[in-house]
């Protein structure tokens, strides 16, 4: 499975920020894993087996497919599933074909336009999967590559065997079936089914009786004997383990939260304003800058099933966690990032949605998001009989959720509640029971918050180095058009040249997102374009052009001002070149900004002695007649003439 957060991206389109169907690259990587591990299964296994390789982090150098094969091998090797592994993989490459030695596990840069690229999988000195692309490599070199690959595979396989020896489970024994005629097996099964379950209705009735018996037993044990299935006290929370960070330098923040057998990994990704989710629905149209997505893969409950996409349950659980966290997310004036949290349920036995709330708090603080307060969540349950006797359960797990009468999820900070969801299986619950459950939930919530603080007490002072940087500046709304340019020409060029994203709001607020160097450069460009020059502003500029009537000086990244010849010196000079030359750095003062925004400069006001130091002398020629006129770098003025 490919995840956007693995590369530090929010990804997706404007209207969808979730991962969709697998890419061709993911499908091909999955086939490599399948072709490698499939031949090593026992022929007599008839159980469905699903191996899921999830990419949690990816750098810009290494293809994850080699790691995925090894990870799948370790997952099978340490399980109790009969399998004749472990198996390993290695990639070999040649950049030009002239090298003597193969590159082992080459970087992406080495593989671009490579002469030879080979992926080999195998075990015990044998090869069972090959993928290769080459530019007419000779067979003898190919044979040498197979030998080299086998040697590397043996080393990785030995390392895997050490791990399997330490943590592997005992393999199940699959007995070889005694072969019978298919018709004989069918007849035996039909006879047994007819004897035990005379008709489908009878079978369904027996299943219902069994479920009712378990339900009655759970209620009786809880209400009358004060016992829970796992032996805990009614107000006791299962063992908790927390970790903030440590997943990867690529991801922007992560949190791992364990509560009993419920294990949740939450990953944080930060983006710019353009990474927001655009909602254009029947009821509302807005940009969403904070989102939480919840994934519940089938392996989290020990099942096989379809991967990818979302169902109603995943959307609902994600929304519950999102609204439980929304109140503690900083305002955009304080933290202008788009925030995406993804909670991956790795194992589930009760209240994974509240586990995702806790994992999200850890990830947010690990990522340096200045949240207003940590949030934790707990699921409360209820056992109630027909007489009104009841027991409130703290931190319910699977059987208590399935057979119990209430699933009351409560999330909040140390100061108060931020989110609630109630589901019941009885007609209604008295208010006093809910109030009592709220009291017990607060006690449990405070306990969980202390466990979270043991991992990380406050948000980290800075966001992750891998996260994009955002700078917010303000420009005059009248200058927005100048920054954008005709048809977006200016802003598109700035974004392309600096590798940044720029978002401009109607009030002149500008958000610039990207790597720090690009952000700083883009900011300088935008500020220069949007600069409002005022009379008296001083600059040091370069002379870029000279005409008979004056010199043009660059005073900004893309802004020039004119020094009229009369403003070069405190005395009259004959030629512009008497004072300045192209390329000179000169001090100037803004003398005037005309109605078209053109800037007129003065050198003599900035430095009255500049011309004298340059050796300029007062003109001895008589001044020309006339009283000046408009700037000659503009369009020719139109004078009204009498008509005949």
Of the residues 110, 137, 167, the one at which a domain ends: 167
Please indicate, yes or no, whether residues 127 and 42 belong to a single structural domain of this protein.
Answer: yes
Spatial separation of the C-alpha atoms in residues 444 and 376, rounded to whole Å: 9
Please indicate, yes or no, whether residues 145 and 95 belong to a single structural domain of this protein.
Answer: yes
Checking if the pLDDT of 642 tops 50, the result is: no
Considering only CA atoms, which of 58, 123, 114, 126 is closest in space to residue 84? 123
Please indicate, yes or no, whether residues 555 and 430 belong to a single structural domain of this protein.
Answer: no
When pLDDT is cut at 50, 70 and 90, the band that residue 638 belongs to is very low
pLDDT at position 209 = 67
Residues in the chain: 644
Residue 395 lies in a domain: yes
Give the number of other Cβ atoms within 10 Å of residue 34's Cβ. 12
Whether 525 contacts 498, CB under 8 Å? yes
Least confident residue range of 6-20, 144-158, 177-191, 206-220: 177-191
Please indicate, yes or no, whether residues 435 and 321 belong to a single structural domain of this protein.
Answer: yes
* pLDDT averaged over every residue in the chain: 87
Of the residues 120, 141, 167, the one at which a domain ends: 167
Residue 66 lies in a domain: yes
Residue 172 lies in a domain: no
- Burial pattern 235-268, b for ≥16 Cβ within 10 A else e, equals bebbebebbbbebbebbbbbbbbbbbbbbbbbbb
Please indicate, yes or no, whether residues 578 and 607 belong to a single structural domain of this protein.
Answer: yes
Least confident residue range of 184-198, 233-247, 280-294: 184-198
Checking if the pLDDT of 223 tops 50, the result is: yes
Residue 304 lies in a domain: yes
pLDDT at position 242 = 97
Considering only CA atoms, which of 118, 197, 182, 190 is closest in space to residue 150? 118
State which residues form the domain around 500: 469-530
Question: Which CATH number belongs to the domain containing residue 548 in this structure?
Answer: 2.40.50.140
When pLDDT is cut at 50, 70 and 90, the band that residue 620 belongs to is confident
Least confident residue range of 264-273, 360-369, 531-540: 531-540
Spatial separation of the C-alpha atoms in residues 143 and 138, rounded to whole Å: 9
Checking if the pLDDT of 639 tops 50, the result is: no
Question: Which CATH number belongs to the domain containing residue 155 in this structure?
Answer: 3.30.230.70
- Burial pattern 623-635, b for ≥16 Cβ within 10 A else e, equals eeeeeeeebeeee
When pLDDT is cut at 50, 70 and 90, the band that residue 7 belongs to is confident
pLDDT at position 346 = 96
Residue 232 lies in a domain: no
pLDDT at position 178 = 54
| pLDDT above 90 coverage of the chain, percent | 57
Share in percent of the chain as helix, strand, coil (round to 5): 35, 25, 40
Spatial separation of the C-alpha atoms in residues 143 and 152, rounded to whole Å: 15
**Using CB atoms within 10 A of its CB, is residue 307 exposed (0-12), middle (13-18) or buried (19+)?**
middle
How many CA atoms are closer than 13 Å to the CA of 6, on its beta-carbon side? 16
Please indicate, yes or no, whether residues 74 and 19 belong to a single structural domain of this protein.
Answer: yes
Please indicate, yes or no, whether residues 23 and 154 belong to a single structural domain of this protein.
Answer: yes
- Alpha-carbon torsion, ordered 214, 218, 224, 229, to 10 deg: 130
Residue 513 lies in a domain: yes
pLDDT at position 531 = 86
Please indicate, yes or no, whether residues 486 and 593 belong to a single structural domain of this protein.
Answer: no
Residue 431 lies in a domain: yes
Q: Which one has a higher pLDDT value, 175 or 110?
A: 110
- DSSP state, 548? T
Residue 91 lies in a domain: yes
Question: Which CATH number belongs to the domain containing residue 480 in this structure?
Answer: 3.30.1370.10
pLDDT at position 76 = 95
pLDDT at position 526 = 92
Q: Which one has a higher pLDDT value, 517 or 8?
A: 517
pLDDT at position 265 = 97
Please indicate, yes or no, whether residues 105 and 153 belong to a single structural domain of this protein.
Answer: yes
Considering only CA atoms, which of 232, 234, 243 is closest in space to residue 267? 243
pLDDT at position 245 = 94
Of the residues 480, 511, 530, the one at which a domain ends: 530
- Counting the structural domains of the chain, the total is 4
Checking if the pLDDT of 644 tops 50, the result is: no
Whether 589 contacts 582, CB under 8 Å? no
Please indicate, yes or no, whether residues 526 and 540 belong to a single structural domain of this protein.
Answer: no
Please indicate, yes or no, whether residues 516 and 564 belong to a single structural domain of this protein.
Answer: no
Please indicate, yes or no, whether residues 251 and 397 belong to a single structural domain of this protein.
Answer: yes
Checking if the pLDDT of 441 tops 80, the result is: yes
**Using CB atoms within 10 A of its CB, is residue 275 exposed (0-12), middle (13-18) or buried (19+)?**
buried
Alpha helices in 224-343 (DSSP H): 312-326
């Amino acid at each position: 499975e490919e995840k956007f957060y693995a590369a530090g991206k929010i990804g997706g389109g404007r209207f969808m920020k979730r991962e969709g169907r697998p890419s061709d690259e993911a499908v091909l990587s999955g086939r490599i894993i399948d072709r490698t591990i499939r031949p090593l299964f026992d022929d007599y296994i008839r159980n469905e087996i699903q191996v899921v390789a999830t990419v949690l982090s990816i750098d810009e150098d290494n293809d994850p497919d080699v790691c995925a094969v090894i990870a799948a091998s370790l997952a099978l090797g340490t399980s109790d599933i009969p399998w004749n592994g472990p198996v390993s993989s290695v990639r070999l490459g040649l950049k030009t074909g002239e090298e003597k030695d193969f590159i082992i596990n080459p970087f992406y840069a080495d593989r671009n336009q490579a002469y030879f690229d080979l992926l080999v999988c195998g075990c015990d000195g044998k090869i069972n999967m090959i993928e290769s692309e080459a530019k007419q490599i000779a067979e003898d070199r190919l044979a040498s590559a197979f030998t080299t690959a086998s040697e590397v595979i043996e080393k990785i396989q030995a390392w895997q065997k050490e791990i399997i020896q330490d943590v592997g489970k005992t393999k199940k024994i699959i007995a070889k079936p005694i072969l019978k005629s298919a018709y004989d097996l069918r007849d035996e099964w039909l006879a047994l089914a007819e004897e035990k379950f005379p008709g489908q209705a009878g079978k369904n009735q027996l299943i219902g009786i069994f479920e009712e018996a378990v339900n009655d037993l759970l209620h009786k044990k809880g209400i009358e004997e004060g016992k829970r299935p796992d032996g805990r006290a009614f107000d006791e929370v299962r063992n908790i383990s927390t970790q903030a960070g440590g997943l990867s330098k690529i991801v922007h923040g992560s949190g791992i939260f364990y509560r009993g057998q419920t294990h949740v990994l939450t990953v944080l990704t930060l983006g710019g304003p353009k990474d927001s989710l655009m909602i254009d629905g029947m009821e509302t149209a807005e940009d969403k800058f904070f989102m939480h997505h919840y994934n519940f893969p089938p392996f989290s409950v020990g099942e096989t099933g379809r991967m990818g996409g979302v169902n109603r349950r995943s959307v609902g659980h994600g929304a519950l966690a999102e609204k439980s966290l929304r109140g503690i997310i900083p305002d955009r004036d304080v933290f202008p990032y788009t925030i995406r949290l993804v909670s991956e349920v790795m194992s589930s036995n009760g209240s994974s949605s509240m586990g995702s709330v806790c994992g999200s708090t850890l990830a947010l603080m690990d990522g340096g998001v200045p949240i207003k307060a940590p949030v934790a969540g707990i699921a409360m349950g209820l056992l109630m009989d027909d007489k009104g006797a009841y027991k409130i359960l703290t931190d319910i797990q699977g059987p208590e959720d399935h057979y119990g009468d209430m699933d009351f999820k409560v999330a909040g900070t140390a100061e108060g509640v931020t989110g609630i969801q109630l589901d019941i299986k009885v007609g209604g619950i008295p208010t006093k029971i809910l109030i009592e459950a709220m009291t017990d939930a607060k006690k449990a919530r405070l306990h969980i918050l202390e466990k979270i603080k043991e991992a990380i007490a406050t948000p980290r002072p800075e966001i992750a180095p891998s996260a994009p940087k955002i700078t917010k500046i303000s420009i005059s709304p009248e200058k927005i058009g100048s920054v954008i340019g005709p048809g977006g020409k200016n802003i598109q060029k700035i974004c392309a040249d600096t590798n940044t994203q720029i978002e401009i709001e109607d009030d002149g607020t500008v958000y610039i997102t990207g790597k720090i160097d690009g952000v700083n450069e883009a900011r300088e460009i935008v500020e220069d374009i949007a600069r409002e020059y005022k009379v008296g502003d001083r600059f040091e500029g370069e002379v870029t052009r000279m005409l008979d009537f004056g010199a043009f000086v660059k005073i900004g990244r893309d802004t020039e001002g004119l020094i009229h010849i009369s403003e070069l010196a405190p005395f009259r000079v004959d030629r512009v070149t008497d004072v300045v030359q192209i390329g000179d750095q000169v001090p100037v003062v803004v003398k005037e900004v005309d109605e078209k925004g053109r800037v007129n400069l003065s050198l003599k006001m900035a430095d009255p002695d500049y011309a004298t130091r340059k050796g300029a002398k007062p003109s001895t020629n008589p001044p020309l007649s006339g009283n000046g006129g408009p700037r000659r770098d503009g369009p020719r003025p139109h004078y009204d003439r009498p008509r005949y």
